[in-house]
Amino acid sequence: MSLRSPLARVRGLGSAKDGTSHWWAQRLTALALIPLTVWFCISVIAMSGADYVTVATWAGSPLVGGLLILLIVATFYHGALGLQVVIEDYVHREMVKLVMLLVVKATSLVLALTGILSVLILLFSRT
């Protein structure tokens, strides 16, 4: 049984041969996010009500800074892959879909870079 409709077959739509790597990257980032988000939540909760110096010193240590950067990369990678699937499921006008996919990827990239650079600033301005 083929999962492609006759119309899709006529139009030549179907596998673009990169579904597996998308699927795999979504699971790998999900796996990485389990310990990273749990660690982040515990850390932030422990610092509830703490002052600026405490938070800045925490975020600016090499270990914490590194973990924060990993969290940022995994989150935005996982989120962009996930939003892509949602858009592909619901948006069927080709031009609108294309624009939305580009906006999601560009926004994720800019936000991820902004976050990483903020962590680096905290790391290098540590006193």
Partner 1 sequence: MISSNRPLSPHLQVYRPQITSTLSILHRLTGVALALGTLLLTYWLIAAASGPEAFADAQGLIGSILGRLVLFGWTFALFFHLCNGIRHLAWDAGYGFEIETTTRSGWVVVGASVVLTLVCWVAGYVAMAGA
Binding site for ligand HEM (CB under 6 A): 26, 30, 33-34, 37, 75, 78-79, 82-83, 85-86
Binding of residue 101 to partner 1 (CB under 8 A): no
Rounded-to-integer distance, Cα 73 and Cα 28, Å:
12
Provide the CA 15 distance to its chain's centre, in angstroms.
24
Nearest residue to ligand HEM by CB is: 82
Question: Which amino acid is present at 65?
Answer: G
What's the rounded Cα separation, in Å, for the pair 87 and 117? 29
Q: How far is it between the farthest Cα atoms of the chain?
A: 66
Amino acid residing at 16: A
Among 64, 74, 100, 122, binds partner 1 (CB under 8 A): 122
* Interaction site with partner 1 (CB under 8 A): 1, 3, 5-7, 27, 30-31, 33-34, 37-38, 41, 45-50, 52, 55-56, 59, 68, 75-76, 79, 82-83, 86, 111, 114-115, 117-119, 121-122, 125
